[in-house]
C-alpha cells in the first residue's frame, strides 16, 4: 500500500471504518455512512494527494465505495464533476464506474445534468448505468427522454429497462420501435418485459 492509501485508511479508521484498503468497502456488508464525507473529500482532492501512477486504482476504489445508497445524494455533485473531468482528460476507463455510481446516488436534483450526459454520444457506453438510473426518476420528462434513447444502440437496452419500471402499463405503446430490432439481447428483453 502506498502512503496515499495509508492516509485514506487512517482517515476511514478514525470514524470507525476498519479497513486495510478502500477496496475493502466495495461489495462489503460494512455500514460506513460516516466514511462518505471522507470519500467525497478524497474524490475532490485526489490529484493533490496521490501520485499519478497510483491515482486511477485508488480513484476507482473510492468511486465504487461511493456506489451505495448511503451516499445518496451527497456524492452526486462530485461524481458529476468527475465524470466530465475524466472524459476531458481522456481517461475513459473510469467513466462506466462513475456512471454506475451516479445511477445509485443521483436523485432528481441532478436530473438535468444527467440528461446532458445521457444524450451526449461522445460518452459512449459509459452512459448505460446513468440511463438505467432514470428508471427511478419522478420527473415527467424521464419517459420521453427514455423513449428518445431507444434509438441509441449504446444505451437502448438500459432505456428499455428503465421505461419498463416507470410506465409498465403503457410499455407496449412506448417500445414499438424496437419490435424488429436486430439485436437478440434487445429481443429477449422485449419478450421478458412484454410477458409481465
Which domains, ranges and CATH numbers included, belong to the chain? 1-106 (no CATH), 109-196 (1.25.10)
- CA 128 to chain CA centroid, Å, is 8
C-alpha cell at 171: 410499455
List the Cα angle 18/24/26 in 5-degree steps: 125
Residue 184 cell numbers, joined: 437478440
What is the C-alpha separation between 162 and 146, in angstroms, rounded?
7
Rounded CA gap, 195 and 189, in Å? Answer: 10
- The whole-number pLDDT of residue 2 equals 59
Sign of CA dihedral 52, 90, 59, 61: negative
Contact 28, 67 (CB under 8 A): no
| pLDDT score recorded for residue 92 | 82
| 8 A C-beta contact, residue 22 and residue 10 | no
Buried b (16+ CB within 10 A) or exposed e, 40-73: bebbeebeebbeeebbeebbbbbbbbbbbeebee
d(CA 41, CA 125): 27
- Give every CB contact of residue 10 below 8 A, 6+ residues apart in sequence: none
Nearest-CA neighbor of 51 among 15, 13, 101, 1? Answer: 1
pLDDT at 186: 77
At residue 23, the pLDDT reads 96
For the chain, give percent helix, strand, coil, nearest 5. Answer: 75, 0, 25
Mean pLDDT of successive 10-residue stretches along the chain, which has 196 residues = 82 96 93 96 94 91 96 97 93 91 96 98 96 95 92 91 81 69 75 71
Amino acid at each position: 500500500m502506498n502512503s496515499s492509501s495509508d492516509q485514506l485508511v487512517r482517515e476511514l479508521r478514525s470514524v470507525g471504518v476498519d479497513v486495510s484498503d478502500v477496496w475493502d468497502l466495495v461489495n462489503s456488508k460494512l455500514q460506513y455512512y460516516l466514511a462518505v464525507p471522507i470519500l467525497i473529500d478524497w474524490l475532490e482532492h485526489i490529484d493533490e494527494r496521490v501520485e499519478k501512477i497510483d491515482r486511477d486504482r485508488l480513484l476507482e476504489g473510492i468511486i465504487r465505495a461511493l456506489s451505495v445508497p448511503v451516499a445518496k445524494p451527497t456524492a452526486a455533485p462530485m461524481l458529476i464533476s468527475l465524470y466530465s473531468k475524466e472524459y476531458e482528460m481522456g481517461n475513459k476507463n473510469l467513466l462506466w464506474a462513475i456512471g454506475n455510481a451516479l445511477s445509485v446516488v443521483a436523485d432528481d436534483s441532478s436530473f438535468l445534468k444527467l440528461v446532458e450526459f445521457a444524450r451526449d454520444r461522445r460518452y459512449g457506453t459509459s452512459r448505460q448505468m446513468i440511463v438505467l438510473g432514470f428508471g427511478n426518476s419522478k420527473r415527467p420528462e424521464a419517459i420521453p427522454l427514455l423513449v428518445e434513447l431507444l434509438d441509441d444502440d449504446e444505451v437502448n437496452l438500459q432505456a428499455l429497462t428503465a421505461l419498463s419500471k416507470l410506465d409498465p402499463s403503457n410499455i407496449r405503446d412506448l417500445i414499438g420501435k424496437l419490435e424488429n430490432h436486430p439485436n437478440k439481447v434487445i429481443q429477449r428483453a422485449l419478450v421478458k418485459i412484454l410477458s409481465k
